[in-house]
Copies of this chain bind each other. A is one copy, B any other.
Amino acid sequence: MSAEAAIQTFDRQQEALLFDLLAFLRFETISAQSEHATDMRACAAWICGQLDAADIEARMVDTDGHPLVVADSGPVPGNAAAPTLLFYGHYDVQPVGDLALWHSPPFEPTIRDGAIFARGSADDKGQLMTHLAAMRCWRQTGSPLPVRVKFIIEGEEEIGSRNLPLYLRNHAAELACDYLVISDTSKLDAQTPALAYATRGLVYKEIILTGPNRDLHSGQYGGAVANPANVLAAILNSLRDHQGRVTIPGFYDDVVPLTPEERQRLGTHGLSDADLVAKTGCPSPSGETGYTTAERCTARPTLDVNGLCAGYTGEGAATVIPTTATAKLSMRLVGNQNPDAISLAFDEAVRQVCPPTVKLTIRNHSHCAAYLAPTDSPGMRAAAQALADSFGRPPVLTREGGTLPILPLFKEVLGADSLMLGFSVPDCNLHSPNEFFHVADFVAGTRCILRFIERLGHM
């Protein structure tokens, strides 16, 4: 038995499975809006039905928020050594925003020019459906799955995966796996598949400096009291040097250096200086000395001010010494920086610089590790081959500049690396009106999943 038999089954049933996907997309599963609680449960039950149809025992798990769907195919008969894959996905979607901007209603999926337009079509129902369709097709061949398959599908990804970590930690043994499989990212471009192996972490802080008990007249007191806004500038400036390097002691200690292969790859496929300028309107690139634009925005840690607020910010001028000055700022981390250690080192560095003439408060916001996986694991090799076979060209190995908190979470709790098999296109209107997912990518994605599980079963 090979994946090709299941692919033939899939090809015969494409239309029916596509209709199932449209049904999936009709559930109004906006996790942020409590009036959709019933839709959420109905959708989770529908997913359980899809998995049951694939002979993968599924159940709905209640949480303090929206339910999880958890499923397990059980061990592979006659092959105790077969690896275990944990498929992750989410059935919740973003709010729809301004309905007037949609060319067709967000929860009435419509196929135009070979693309399915609906909220959640790319993020993540359409991609998750490739997993479900693949399982059902393999089941119909009558052969057992070549690998043990588990599923964990949440309904809270768009609202910060609030209840996922607790469930994971309490059920680590039940969810044990060799790899996590996620289809919630995009290809490099319409023609080229991508296989991301790294995301950046995030430590987000807020510095609040308080000086006088009210805004003071700068004529009356200027020069005689510490100005929180001046002090804030000094603190922020102290955190980076003239070469764009972060000066917090130990900040770079655990950074895994880029390999020559990675640098070459980023040089070939990564963001060019010209593209950066075209896409951002910045006068020129700027960043850490010794690294390229592509390296800086994916493979190097950063410290960026995200917000500043102090004193008078209206029209014209007001001669006040502000009572408070606030900065929101965040550090993007890379493997293997430890967010706990970075957070403490940041606080200590700020305290060292802050004079006793103002009161310092540091607030913690997001806190998430980077994710960095080996690129030569059996899972990555199988995924790369399946992508190449299904999309007609080999995938580009990529680093993501953004943060995916679930990746380091699964790695920490289950010890498993993640394989990001993303099937949507980069400009698929994610979180925006007229989100879409190409039918051809649904087809190639399902085939890719079938080839991937077969290949991994034989490794």
Contacts and interface: CB of A to CB of B under 8 A. Distances in A.
Contact of A296 (B212, B224, B233, B359): B224
A226 B287 CA distance: 7
Contacts of A288: 223
A374 interface: no
A331 to B, nearest CB: 9
Interface string A217-251: 11111111111011011101110100010000000
A303 B321 CA distance: 11
A52 to B, nearest CB: 38
A260 interface: no
A206 to B, nearest CB: 8
Contact of A310 (B227, B301, B307, B316): B307
Given A233-B305, A305-B230, A316-B365, A283 B223 contact: no
B357 A286 contact: yes
Contacts of A287: 223-225
A232 B229 contact: no
B220 A230 contact: no
A328 B306 contact: no
B302 A332 contact: no
- For this complex, into which size category does the number of interface residues on chain A fall? 35 or more
A204 interface: yes
A282 B220 contact: no
A75 interface: no
A69 to B, nearest CB: 28
A457 B310 CA distance: 53
Interface in A22-63: none
Nearest to A317: B365
Contact of A283 (B218, B316, B357): B357
- Residue with the greatest number of chain B CB neighbours at <10 A, chosen from A224, A233, A322, A330: A224
- Residue with the greatest number of chain B CB neighbours at <10 A, chosen from A202, A238, A287, A296: A287
A365 B271 CA distance: 41
A280 B225 contact: yes
Given A204-B317, A222-B401, A288-B223, A312 B305 contact: no
Contacts of A306: 218, 229, 311-312, 317-322
Interface string A259-288: 000000000000100001000111111111
A196 to B, nearest CB: 13
Nearest to A321: B304
A326 interface: yes
Contacts of A320: 306-307
Interface in A365-403: 365-366, 400-403
Interface in A186-231: 200, 202, 204, 206, 211-214, 216-227, 229-230
A217 to B, nearest CB: 7
- Residue with the greatest number of chain B CB neighbours at <10 A, chosen from A305, A357, A365: A305
B356 A304 contact: no
Given A271-B224, A307-B311, A310-B308, A218 B355 contact: no
Nearest to A300: B223
A297 B220 contact: yes
A165 B11 CA distance: 87
CB-CB nearest 6 A-B residue pairs: A219-B402, A213-B281, A229-B305, A233-B236, A237-B237, A226-B286
Given A219-B332, A307-B310, A313-B328, 12 more contacts: A202-B319, A204-B317, A218-B306, A221-B280, A223-B287, A225-B285, A225-B286, A229-B236, A229-B305, A305-B325, A308-B309, A312-B328
